[in-house]
Amino acid sequence: MTFSGAASIAGIGATEFSKESGRSELQLSAEATLSALADAGLSASDVDGLVTFTMDTSSEIALARELGMGELRFFSRINYGGGAACATVQQAAMAVATGMADVVVAYRGFNERSGQRFGQVSLGAATQVNTNGLDNAWTYPHGLSTPAATVAMQARRYMHEYGATSADFGAVAVADRKHAATNPAAFFHDKPITLEDHQNSRMIADPLRLLDCCQESDGAVAIVVTSTERARDLRAGAVPIVAAAQGSGADQFVMTSYFRDDLGIPEIGVVGRDLWRQSGLTPADIQTAVLYDHFTPYVLMQLEELGFCGRGEAKDFIADGAIELGGRLPLNTHGGQLGEAYIHGMNGIAEAVRQLRGASVNQVDGVEHVLVTAGTGVPTSGLVLGR
Amino acid sequence: MTTDEEIIARTDEIKARGKSPARVAPDPVNVPMIRHWAEAIGDTNPRWAPGPDTEAPPAMAQVWTMYGLNPERMPGDPLPDTMQVLDDAGFTSVLGTNCDQTYARTLRPGEAPSISTYLADVVGPKKTGVGEGWFITTKSVWTVGDEQVATMTFRVLKFKPGTGRPAVDRTKTLRPVVNRDTEFFWAGTAAGELRIQSCNACGELRHPPGPVCPVCHAMDRGYVVASGRGVVHSFLVHHAPAVPGKRLPLTLALVELAEGVRMVGEVDGDVAIGDAVEVWFDRIDDDLTLVKWRPAGAPAPEAEPEVESDLPVWELPITPTLVVSTALATRDFQDVHHDRDRSIGHGSKDIFINILSTTGLVQRYVTDWAGPQTQILSCALRLGAPAHPYDTLRFTGTIVSEADGVTTLDVRADVSIGTHANARLEIRR
């Protein structure tokens, strides 16, 4: 049995992206799911599988009830925050490829700005009675207790070892906001920034500035997965899942893998190696990518781990607009999570689908394969989508 | 909104009015109020006990002329009028900061003191720890007939709530989840030891610890006590958002210990990658001691100097009953002294002891030591950290000078978060 290309993305859907949705998280997920099913030309009764994040507050059965889906044959959840994004589609594709389900929807919906904000200190994360809580005992009581701070520790070491600067991180923010500026769905539509804006933004966790950090957003995204054969006959056609992988590094922690020899994010290297193995492709075969941008330094480090450039060379790789539309490797053409919205990476998968359909507002020419990654610093995942 | 100039102009008018007409105490000095006060303060001085020779404690001077629960303000009283000006300008919260009193003699039951007050000073706007505000100073005299029996310089801060530096309550520090695999580490910090897990089979050192040696799979483990020296491997400075129990900005480092393992911890002072640091132990409370770091060779962080006390140290547990009973016995019906919900609503963490009661407790402390016949001549009190229930007041006192039969004393009353009050008293023994 071959996994590569057996399953496809047949539909994508989303709510609007805002700072205050005014609806429940379950309603957001239901709206996005209906939107994705409509895009695919399928109905709720066609769905027999659901996948979401362990962190999601709307269970698979709750969503199934709201949409009158009836019986489910497959349901699954993926752990580790934003690292789950691409893995939800991987789970769906594996279920379809193995015949465990016919139509699986991967969804994520939250009021992450108007409700529980991930950028604040989470008492729940600090006090959970499990090994994650035990892990956090080495950081939270000291005050290392926000995602930005955990990344800042990594970023400082990266700058020290490879000579990257805050301005190099800023180039990612500038590219994201440039792309968001022309995307009407983006929260920062029509609001580009300059590198000077980035350098003038206030410190959040030195060396990270405000404009190095993704937004906090309300919204939902859903992705419909079915067999490539069936998808070809559906309304929107097929976007084949060429490769899908998860990855966890040696001595892995959640956001605080500080105890292994090299800091960094080797977990995405695990993902990358498996994506290239499954697909038979190399970085040279990728025309555009969506690299998870919760914090800008991790975009640079991902480029290196995924093999787009050598270790420490990302600052040169991204220079001179290389990651902007028209550059050598446009990244995050929807505006990314800094520019469009932070929907835990699921909106990036939708953008990859649009690029392969030729339907992005920031369309890249001649797109054959798009790489998408999930949150790093945590056990993570990735996809290569094709045509 | 009133401007600074308008505040100055309006309060200048109040100043220009000079002394207010004398206002007589609503009740004459009386034995029941003295007895309630002595019970609440816990002052067993026999001079205050009911009997033919009962005297009123000097610290009660202000009590007799307090307005009470449903006051009808006397027209022309400068303090309420000045407060109103600042209320109108948005400086709606109030904090007593100084109370300097002198006493010519004690009062006797049946005497009805009168108070006359003038506005001495309005200074502001000042940035203070609790917020932006104005200091109001009034001066009062109490008379019985034509005889001046006591004086007071009273200073309050009227401030805008929510404009201060957020107070940092270290006890809000997030607590570590601890289990049987990690408890040795936390027992170590409490004992002033930095412990690193070691494998009893192969000797591998490991942090963070766990139940199994990842190298040899032995589950027989112990620990070594680290040298406490390390090097900064990376660091960050946290500016936002707020972190419970921490003052920002907060420098956090990943320290590589001489023994080869790494740990995250707070660092005092500026650091760079590669800097040598050494450990110290910061006791947060009975349940938590944190490992912290400072540049190697830097002086130890200023430990609270042990207060030298000529007077025996007196520790008084603060209960809600103490706060409420003393507030009512001093006829202070401000909600922040008896209503916890309202007090929290005003931005406080709980109810707190009022300034009249602190004055009473300080004088009780002095006369308990100096003897019941001691005459208090003056008491200049400056208030600092609030005294909340479930904390402890720790009184210490030093003799400053003794001359012409007058002893000058400095008394300090500490609570867990700092000094609640400093007072200088003159007494005749």
| Tens digit of each residue's pLDDT, chain A (387 residues) | 589 999 999 999 999 999 999 999 999 999 999 999 999 999 999 999 999 999 999 999 999 999 999 999 999 999 999 999 999 999 999 999 999 999 999 999 999 999 999 999 998 889 999 999 999 999 999 999 999 999 999 999 999 999 999 999 999 999 999 999 999 999 999 999 999 999 999 999 999 999 999 999 999 999 999 999 999 999 999 999 999 999 999 999 999 999 999 999 999 999 999 999 999 999 999 999 999 999 999 999 999 999 999 999 999 999 999 999 999 999 999 999 999 999 999 999 999 999 999 999 999 999 999 999 999 999 999 999 999
Which residue of A lies nearest to B177 if distances are taken between CA atoms?
A134
Distance CA A350, CA A185 (A): 12
The confidence score (pLDDT) of residue B303 equals: 54
Nearest CA in chain A to B261: A259
Chain A residues with CB inside 8 Å of B261's CB? 259
Chain A residue numbers touching B207 (CB-CB < 8 A): 138, 259
Strands (E), B194-228: 195-199, 205-206, 221-225
Q: For residue B242, which amino acid is it?
A: A
In angstroms, the separation between the Cα of residue B231 and the nearest Cα of chain A is 13
Residue A203 DSSP SS3: strand
Ordered strands of the A288-290 beta sheet: A74-78, A49-53, A104-111, A218-227, A7-14, A239-247, A380-385, A370-373, A288-290
Residues of chain B with pLDDT under 70: 1, 165-167, 300-307
Verify whether the Cβ–Cβ distance A140 to B273 is below 8 Å. Answer: no
Alpha helix positions (H), B295-383 = 320-329, 340-345, 355-370
Flag if B241 and A119 touch (Cβ within 8 Å). Answer: yes
Structure tokens at A385: 């989508």
With CB atoms and an 8 Å threshold, state whether A203 touches B245: no
Distance of CA B172 to the CA centre of its chain: 17
Helix axes B355-370, B31-41, angle to 10 degrees: 80
List of chain B residues whose C-beta atoms are within 8 Å of the C-beta of residue A116: none
CATH fit for domain A7-115+214-386, picks 3.30.2270.10, 3.30.70.141, 3.40.47.10, 3.30.2420.10: 3.40.47.10
The verdict on A72 touching B (C-beta cutoff 8 Å) is: no
Q: Write out the DSSP string of B48-72.
A: GSSSTT--B-GGGTTGGG---SS--
Question: Tokens at residue A192, please?
Answer: 């580009």
Among A140, A142, A144, most B C-beta atoms within 10 A, so best to mutate, is A142
Which is nearest to A89 in space by CA: A146, A162, A7?
A7
Give chain B's length: 429
Interchain proximity A143–B243, CB inside 8 Å: yes
Mutate one of A120, A138, A209, A210 to test the B interface: name it (highest B CB count within 10 A): A138
- The CA-atom distances, in angstroms, between A205 and each of A257, B31, B159, B172, B175 are 18, 62, 31, 21, 22
Please list the residues that pair with B421 across neighbouring strands.
B383, B413
Q: What is the pLDDT of residues B94-141, one digit of tens each?
A: 888 999 999 999 999 999 999 999 999 999 999 887 789 999 999 999
Q: Give pLDDT, residue B348.
A: 78
Q: Best interface-test mutation with A: which of B232, B238, B271 has the largest number of A CBs within 10 A?
A: B238
**CB proximity list for B415: less than 8 A, separation 6 or greater:** B318, B385, B386, B387, B388, B391, B392, B393, B394
The shortest CB-CB distance from B240 to any of A157, A204, A259 is to: A204
Rounded to the nearest 5 percent, the helix, strand and coil shares of chain A are: 40, 20, 45
Q: Quick check: B174 and A135 CB within 8 A?
A: no
Extended strands (E) in B275-338:
276-285, 288-295, 314-317
Residue for token pair 């199934």:
A64
Q: What are phi and psi of A219, to 5 degrees?
A: 155, 180
The reply to whether A363 touches chain B by the CB within 8 Å rule is no
The ipTM assigned to this model is 0.96
Q: What is the DSSP string of A73-96?
A: SEEEEE-SGGGGHHHHHHHHHHHH
Q: Is A147 left (phi over 0), alpha (psi -120 to 50) or beta?
A: alpha
Contact A152 B244 (CB under 8 A): no
Here the tokens at position B213 are 């040696």
Asked if B234 contacts B256 with a C-beta cutoff of 8 angstroms, the reply is no
Q: Chain B: give the shortest CA distance to residue A155, in Å.
A: 9
- Which pLDDT score, from 0 to 100, does residue B73 have? 82
* Rg (chain B; Cα; Å): 27
Spell out which residues of chain B touch residue A133, defining contact as CB-CB under 8 Å.
177
Domain parsing of chain A, residue ranges: 7-115+214-386
| Sequence-ordered alpha helix ranges (H) in chain A | 25-40, 60-66, 85-97, 123-127, 131-136, 147-162, 166-181, 195-200, 228-232, 266-279, 297-305, 314-317, 336-339, 346-357
Residue A51 in contact with partner chain B when CB distance is under 8 A:
no
Instruction: Give me the helix-helix angle, B31-41 and B320-329, nearest 10°.
Output: 160
Q: Give me the active site residues of A, please.
A: 292, 342
Asked whether the bond before B301 is cis by omega within 30 degrees of 0, the reply is no
Cα–Cα dist B252/A258, whole Å: 13
Q: Which residues contact B286 (CB under 8 A, 6 or more apart)?
A: none
Quick check: B303 contacting A, CB < 8 Å? no
Question: A326: distance to nearest CA of chain B, Å?
Answer: 35
A159 touches chain B (CB under 8 A): no
What pLDDT sits at residue B194?
98
SS3 state at B330: coil
Burial (0-12, 13-18, 19+ Cβ within 10 Å), B70:
exposed
Q: How far apart are CA B350 and CA B338, in angstroms?
A: 9
B266 neighbourhood in chain A, CB within 8 Å: 142-143
Chain B contact set for A126 (CB, 8 A): 174-175, 177
Residues in B touching A152 (Cβ below 8 Å): 236, 238
Q: Which of A128, A205, A259 sits opposite B238 (nearest CB)?
A: A205
Does A142 sit within 8 Å of B252, measured CB to CB?
yes
Out of B234, B241, B265, the one facing A146 most closely (by C-beta) is B241
Rounded Cα gap, residues B329 and B96, in angstroms = 18
CB A242 within 8 A of CB A279: yes
Partnered with residue A218 across adjacent β-strands are A18, A111
Helix axes A266-279, A297-305, angle to 10 degrees: 40
pLDDT at B96: 86
Three-state DSSP state, B21 = coil
> Distance between CA A365 and CA B166 in Å, rounded?
53
Residue B166 has what pLDDT? 65
φ, ψ of residue B230 to 5 degrees: the values are -160, 180
H helices then E strands: how many in chain B? 7, 18
Sign of CA dihedral A233, A238, A242, A247: negative
Measure CB to CB from residue A123 to each of B174, B233, B288 and give the nearest one. Answer: B174
Contact A200/B at CB under 8 A: no
Identify the CA nearest to A386 among candidates A87, A93, A35: A93
Minimal Cα–Cα distance from A263 to chain B, Å? 10
Q: Which residues of A touch B254 (CB under 8 A)?
A: 153, 157, 258
Residue B20 CB contacts under 8 Å (≥ 6 apart), including other chains: B74, B76, B77, B78, B116, B117, B118
Cα–Cα distance, B261 to B263 (Å, whole number): 7
